[in-house]
Amino acid sequence: MNITANVVTYQLKRAFTISRGSRTEAEVLQVTVEKNGSVGIGECSPTGRYGESFDSVMEQIESLQGTDFDRATLLHLLPPGAARNALDCALWQLEEPNFPANFDLPEAITTAMTVSIASPQEMAEETRQYITQGATLIKVKLNADLVFERLQAVRTEAPDAIVIVDANEAWGSLDIPETIKHIAPLNIAMIEQPLPAGEDDALTEISSPIPLCADESCHTADDVTNLIGKYQMVNIKLDKTGGLTGAFELERKARENGMQIMVGCMLGSSIAMRAGLPIAAHAVLVDLDGAALIKDDIENGLTYENGQIALR
């Protein structure tokens, strides 16, 4: 088995701003695994929020050079995270020649289109562009400032769309019940990770009319038990689960505990977005627009049209 890994940088179509900062490019690690004449490619996004760097992830990948392993073995060789994700997804492609089509995917999957943090006017304009392009699901990034004003601006431009909110752990300074009560009339379908991971026990005391979704608080199936009573949904991201293999296990555990499934992504190319499609095919909410936010996707990348990922 031969493994190669390279850092690839994609320029974004516009600045991407969340509560933790702003970016104008997406830097990813693309990994190729060659075995017995077959080749698989995976992609990951090392995340500082989870204690990862490109150097640390590259070191994990290089530690397996010359080792013969499969997806089952890999679960014991590396911990969940970006490195295992890239290798796991490369192995899925290598071991399953028709991946991901062999999962009987639908003709199209509706994906959220992400509006990043800016002034209410700028967020309204970005929403208007998405709606003009046919989007029906809008994901709004927020911090603790101008929550209602920003959401109202988005809703005005998207009166008929499904609108979901991603606070990225930024609402710790807010009165969460009052904030939810204030924005509920805007018909918000879901709120993602309002409080920091590790500080979200307060959610057990909240009866929210809007479903709450765990993101930073949920990495693997082992986290599910601690989410009960706080969240009604989990956001499955392959860079957190350590690949599609771990994602299936998280999906199973979450469903067993009555939670709904969302699938999300980091910024990246269609290599990363395709790997999440088997989970997306049965998810309530899908946020796999990462490849639509970069300027130059890979050749033969996914097709985004009318707010959907066209698969046939």
Q: Residue positions in the annotated binding site?
A: 166, 192, 215
Question: CA-CA distances (angstroms) from residue 102 to 96, 97, 179, 229, 257?
Answer: 8, 9, 44, 36, 27
In the sheet that holds 188-192, the strands lie side by side as 113-115, 137-141, 162-166, 188-192, 212-214, 233-236, 260-263, 285-286
User: What does the buried/exposed string (b/e) look like for 196-205 if buried means 16 or more CB atoms within 10 Å of the residue's CB?
Assistant: ebeebeebee
If one counts every other C-beta atom within 10 angstroms of the C-beta of residue 290, the result is: 27
Active-site residue flag, 237: yes
Contact of 240 with 50, CB cutoff 8 Å: yes
Give binding residues for Mg(2+) as ranges.
Answer: 166, 192, 215
The Cα–Cα gap between 185 and 145 comes to 18
Catalytic site residue from 139, 237, 240, 253: 237
Catalytic site residue from 13, 139, 141, 181: 141
Strand partners of residue 18: 21
- Residues in contact with 156: Cβ distance below 8 Å, sequence separation at least 6, in sequence order: 124
- φ/ψ of residue 169, rounded to 5: 70, 15
Contact of 237 with 215, CB cutoff 8 Å: yes
Residues designated as active site: 141, 237
